[in-house]
Homo-oligomer: A and B are copies of this chain.
């Protein structure tokens, strides 16, 4: 069943450069775009990153198979370049078929981690 939008924006991007000492993957500070493709066709997704003082970077390209979810960590984007830490950015996510995008962050700079989550803006 197809649900969603083809354009999604996340204005508040920020990956903390620090994490709890010794944290394993689930508790390392990270930022994610959780994507649901509930439709019958693969989604071809292009992500562009926007910054305060320099030109946009991208597109980062990825696929989400039909009837699958992908919890993409911005920390792990590498091509065309990694996402800088401790830096304000924003992202625009464009798909060729409808998807739904939710933004989340786990911040473990503190000894106790903090979480945020919100639906991205879809258009």
List chain A positions with a Cβ less than 8 A from chain B: 1, 3-4, 7, 9-14, 26-27, 32, 34-38, 48, 50-53, 55-56, 67-71, 86, 88-90, 92, 94, 100-105, 107, 109-123
Contact = CB atoms under 8 A, between A and B. Distances in A.
Nearest to A117: B116
Nearest to A10: B102
A107 B105 CA distance: 13
Contacts of A114: 112-115
B32 A1 contact: no
Most B Cβ at <10 Å: residue of A7, A12, A89? A12
Contacts of A113: 110, 114
